[in-house]
Amino acid sequence: MTTPGRTTAEHTAADTLEGGPRRGRVRPGGRRGVPLPLLVPALAGLAFLLLPLIALLVRAPWRDLPEQLTGGEVWQALRLSLLCATAATALSLVVGVPLAWLLARTEFPGRGLVRALVTLPLVLPPVVGGVALLLALGRNGVVGQWLDSWFGITLPFTTAGVVLAETFVAMPFLVISVEGTLRAADPRYEEAAQTLGASRFTAFRRVTLPLIAPGVAAGSVLAWARALGEFGATITFAGNFPGRTQTMPLAVYLALQNDPAAAIALSLVLLAVSIAVLAGLRDRWMTAS
């Protein structure tokens, strides 16, 4: 590459034109470099997202951290959070993927309206979602009163209630993400499978599902992350009792009331665990495709 007699300027120009070796340096304005009008807002966006997290780390009570985190309630809350978020993601997968398929692959009157309704929990303040769940599934709710009198099941104030509240808030993320992947996936593969004799369900199971696996994985991760951080619907529908319904976000909120240092410590734990899990999942699933 290095030809004696060429000047440095010629050298750089040649490298740029040939897409030659980068020297770990962004070249604004270069033909292959990152254009400044994209780079500047991108970096601003990144800084905006990271700044609060950095502030959390800077102001964290590092010295008292071991003390803050030795309480049994912290690990109890963390365990419950992970358990409930995972259960909520599983529940979302079981009903959400078929729902996404229905929205993407079938024609029925009012489909646009149904799609809008599915995304409703995204715009609804979670606390309102919690109240709505109480009115629907509470002991005195529209459906809940029958659950109570026929089966003796009451959902508020139980761990199952936490899972339901989190599913309500998190499932739309999964449905939207899977539906988008389904729309992008070529339906001719399914049609080919069907012309070869597969039933529509077999085609879904053997052809569609493997095809959209990355989208399902991405949707699950989104839903899981949303469920893990869920606060409003959970505290409204399931209440707050340590070990039964007190997840990490609830513990953080209540700690914030009289001990901000403890709240920061708890937030750090939740943050560390989420980053560990999300990074692990990304490496394993989402780049494999």
Torsion sign across C-alpha atoms 241, 243, 249, 254? positive
Q: Tell me if 142 contacts other proteins by CB under 8 A.
A: no
Residues 178-217 as x/- pattern, contact with other proteins by CB under 8 A: ----------------------------------------
Residue 128 makes CB contacts below 8 A (sequence gap 6+) with: none
Measured from the CB atom, is 15 or 259 closer to other proteins? Answer: 259
Q: Tell me if 149 contacts other proteins by CB under 8 A.
A: no
Q: Tell me if 45 contacts other proteins by CB under 8 A.
A: no
Q: How buried is 228 (Cβ within 10 angstroms: 0-12 exposed, 13-18 middle, 19+ buried)? A: buried
Residue 40 Cβ vs other proteins, minimum distance, rounded to whole Å: 6
Q: Tell me if 277 contacts other proteins by CB under 8 A.
A: no
From the list 173, 120, 158, the residue with the least C-alpha distance to 237 is 158
Q: Tell me if 234 contacts other proteins by CB under 8 A.
A: no
Measured from the CB atom, is 14 or 40 closer to other proteins? Answer: 40
Q: How far apart are alpha carbons 288 and 278 in whole angstroms?
A: 15
Angle of helix 126-137 relative to helix 159-184, nearest 10 degrees?
110
Q: Tell me if 98 contacts other proteins by CB under 8 A.
A: no
Span near other proteins by CB under 8 A; candidates 108-116, 164-172, 187-195, 245-253: 245-253
Q: Tell me if 236 contacts other proteins by CB under 8 A.
A: yes
Residue 118 Cβ vs other proteins, minimum distance, rounded to whole Å: 26
Q: How far apart are alpha carbons 275 and 107 in whole angstroms?
A: 40
Measured from the CB atom, is 3 or 257 closer to other proteins? Answer: 257
Q: Tell me if 40 contacts other proteins by CB under 8 A.
A: yes
Residue bearing tokens 């403890």:
262
Figure out which of the listed residues 78, 91, 217, 255 binds other proteins, where binding follows CB under 8 A.
Answer: 255
Measured from the CB atom, is 214 or 239 closer to other proteins? Answer: 239
Residue 228 Cβ vs other proteins, minimum distance, rounded to whole Å: 19
Q: Which of residues 13-32 bind other proteins (CB under 8 A)?
A: 13, 28-29
Confirm if 86 and 223 have CB atoms less than 8 A apart. no
Give the C-alpha distances (Å, rounded to integers) separating 25 from 30, 32, 33, 244. 11, 12, 9, 52
Span near other proteins by CB under 8 A; candidates 67-75, 89-97, 238-246, 274-282: 238-246
Measured from the CB atom, is 86 or 158 closer to other proteins? Answer: 158
Contact set with other proteins (CB under 8 A)? 13, 28-29, 36-37, 40, 131, 134-135, 138-140, 156-157, 235-236, 238-242, 245-246, 250, 253-260
